[in-house]
Every structure is written in structure tokens, then in C-alpha cells.
Amino acid sequence: MSRLAPGTVIDGFRIGDCLHAGGMGAIHAVTYADGAPDPGFPMVMKRPRLGSDGAGSIVGYEVEQQMLQAITSAHVPRFIAAGDLTRHPYLVMERIDGRTLDRFLDAPAPLAIDTICELGAAIALAAHDLHRQNACHLDLKPANVMIRADGSAVLIDLGLACHAHYPDLLAEETRKAVGSAPWMAPEQVVGVRGDPRSDLFAIGVMLYELATRELPFGEPRTESGLRQRLWMDPVPPRARRPDLPECFQEIVLRCLEPEASDRYPSAAHLAFDLNHPAQVSVTARGRQTRPTGAFVHFKRWLRAAGKHYVPSPPPQQQIDSVPIVMVAVPHRDVTDATLYSLREAVARSLGIRPGARLACVTVVPVGASDEGTYASHLAQLKEWAAALDLSRHQASFHVLESGDVAEALLRYADNNRVTMIVMGAATHGTSMQRLLATVPIKVAMHAPCTVILVKQTLPFAQLGED
């Protein structure tokens, strides 16, 4: 690949400084050379290296071009233009201002757990945005995650990604394992691509590394070294850093499960736990401080030796099957009929969706929730949910303070990527019905998801008439 001198013009783009040069190519700052309108953000040109691994570089170039044009998201660089593959192969895209995640690993002291959770949640939400568009990144690692000044994450370098609606060019390669070894999921090791839970495994590796400054599976150089993650667990994070909370270890080790079905069902579920660690149900996985025994690993090795991995459903289909359901439960002036009807609607929604998550939310006025009343509101939410069968679901309970109930519910739904909101058609009981449920109407009009408005009914109210 010939070097480009600053000032060179290619297809209307003026080349600036070289920002990065590596084995796969080079990245230059660019501007328009012909007075074209300013796009409103800085741009870079990425050029693949056509050397001994030229074929692999070109395939990655084609994949990234395909992905950038297929995805509309604030969590990937915006696509500008692509060059002719036979003359000048290049990609021009948005230049992301921020720093890569590996810069956080260079800090002299370990990061605070709150900071790690914030970073992990930002990455998970970015991955969820890709998965909702039927795309998987499949090469998530610290160098491929940019953190903006506002804390949001941008996922870069999509050369190994795949999209459920486009041909998987990399699947035609002769190599089975395609990815970066330390962060590669077990199913990727055996050549299965397109499962969004592979990205969750990579996020788990990054969380482990941010917390312990160690890679959970090292840096294997051979196929046999890579395959060990099909049956082996890493050293528990708390064995390396005892001050880590059990809930954090629960999150990380769930991401690193060898079987994709044992991980979080979606990146939104992972982000939810990282944003609300106090609500995580800690199992033996979170309390463990010693490595898993050799006998357990041996049994897993026997299963892995004869296991046949099959392709997963498209990412969007997987996400739809495990929604995050939010129910808005009024905290005062509410009838038994409304509470009963809400519970029945939630039960129906969860009953047909094993693995769905339930978030029970109530909104109280600002300043009306001291420590005692806050605990009382939480107790009321848990009492309301006690009659639900939550054996196949995770549930959490949240008391929000706000002077605008509808705005608080909308903000919560958006921040937590809620899939469905269930609320009463008249949320404030009999004394407020003359206002005709302004809160439900506002939520239904502006919600980022499906809203189910439940009319209050009490089936046993007619028993006395028989």
C-alpha cells in the first residue's frame, strides 16, 4: 500500500495527517477538496493494506462497507463514501472523538466498580442497537470501542461483522475461527457466526479485564488453546480482586458462560444489570472465589467433543423473544381493580415469553421519598408482584422521584431499552379519572416501544349477581 502525502486528492477528498498505520491498513484525516458542503463532523479515510494477506483485507473492507451502509446508529461511525475496489479501495466515514477502551486499561490504578459498570452498560447498549438491526460485531475488544465525552460508546472496525440479511463473506473463508483470540466466544472458535450472544461474551472479557487487569482466557496462539474456553471457566474475578462485589462477578461470569444459552439473552438485559447492580440476584456463580474443579471441566470437555453447534436465529428474532417488560404501578389512590388488571396483563405478557425480564416501577413526587417511605414503596411493589409466577423471569423493583410521572416513565423506558410498557388506562384512580388519564396518553404517544393500556376489571365483582 503506497503512502499518501498530505494534500493528495482522491475522488474529491483531500488527504490530511496519517492517524494510524497498521498491518491491516492506514487511517487518514480527510476533508472535501471541491468545496462540497461540510457534513457537520470530521471525517477519516480508511485504506486496506494489499499485502501478503491482501485477500483477507479486501474481504474485511467489503464487509465493513456493507455494514456501515446497512446500519443506522449513533453507535457506529457514519458512512460517507467508498472507493473503487480496483483503483482506490477506501472508506470515508465519521471521525469519532473520544478515546478507545484500552486507554482506560492504561490507568495506573484499577478503575472503580461504578466506572466499570458505566462503561460496560454503554458498550452493551451500543451492541444492542446493532443487534436490533440484525447485525453482530463479532470483534469487540478494547481497541474497537470508542468512548465519547458523554459516556456513550461507538463500535468501530466492522470488518469481521455479519448481518442476517446479507451474505456472510467471511463464512466462505477456509479458517474456522475468525476474530481476536482473547475476546472470541466459544461458538466462534468452532465457526458459528451470527449469534448476538457472542458479542456478550466479548463484553464479559472486557469487564473482567477492566476489573482485574487480566484476560480471563489469556492470549492463546493455537487452536487447541482457543478451544479450552468451550469447557473451562476463568479464575473468578473476586479471586484476583477481593473487593469486587458479588453482583459484579455474577454479571461477568454469566457473560462468560461456555454455552450461549446460559449467558444473558440480550445485550439490553446485560445493560440493565450493569445499570442496576443492586437488583442482581446473586447465585453461587457470584459468590465463588475458587476456580471450577477439574472434574467439572472434564465433563464439559466430553460434551464439547461431541457437540454440534447450529446457527442461531436472526438477532432481532432473539431479542423479540426475551423482552424487557416494564409495568407502571401507581403508589396511591389506586383501586383494587386496577392493581388486579395490571397483574393479569403482566402475567399474560410474561407467560408466553420465558426469559423475559420484568421491571416494576412506581413514580413518587420529588422529595416525598425519604429512606423510610422509599422502603415502604419498594415493599408495596414486591407485595403487588408476589402473586406473579416469576420462576422463569428476572424481576426488579424501582421507585422513581419526579414531578412529571409520564416523563419519568418515558425516560426510564428509553434508558433501559424497555420493549413493552404495561400501565393502567387510568393510572391515578377514581379521583383523577376526570382528567381522563393524561399520563397514559402521553406515554402511549411518545414511548419508544409498545404500550399496553389496561382497562380495570375485577372478574369476581359479578359473583353476587348470580
Residues 305-358: tens digit of each pLDDT: 777 777 788 999 999 999 999 999 998 878 888 899 999 999 999 988 889 999
| Count: domains in the chain | 3
pLDDT of residue 430: 47
345 and 455 both lie in a single domain: yes
Q: What is the DSSP letter of 37?
A: P
Give me the helix-helix angle, 246-255 and 267-275, nearest 10°: 170
pLDDT of residue 423: 93
336 and 384 both lie in a single domain: yes
Among 71, 94, 117, where does a domain finish?
94
Distance CA 175, CA 43 (A): 34
Among 299, 316, 333, where does a domain finish?
316
Over residues 308-321, the pLDDT tens digits come to 777 788 999 999 99
pLDDT of residue 109: 85
In 3-state terms, what secondary structure has residue 316? Answer: helix
Where the chain has pLDDT below 70, the residues are: 1-2, 23, 50-56, 172-176, 368-369, 426-437, 458-466
Among 316, 334, 357, where does a domain finish?
316
Establish if 296 belongs to a structural domain. Answer: yes
Establish if 171 belongs to a structural domain. Answer: no
pLDDT of residue 226: 92
Per the structure, the complete domain to which residue 60 belongs is given by 9-94
58 and 122 both lie in a single domain: no
pTM higher than the cut 0.85: yes
pLDDT of residue 177: 74
* Residue at 136: amino acid letter: C
pLDDT of residue 51: 59
Distance CA 390, CA 392 (A): 5
289 and 354 both lie in a single domain: no
103 and 74 both lie in a single domain: no
29 and 154 both lie in a single domain: no
186 and 263 both lie in a single domain: yes
Q: Cα torsion for 110, 115, 121, 123, to the nearest 10°?
A: -60
CA 251, 254, 260, 262 dihedral sign is: negative
pLDDT of residue 462: 47
pLDDT of residue 123: 98
The grid coordinates listed for 74 are 449513533
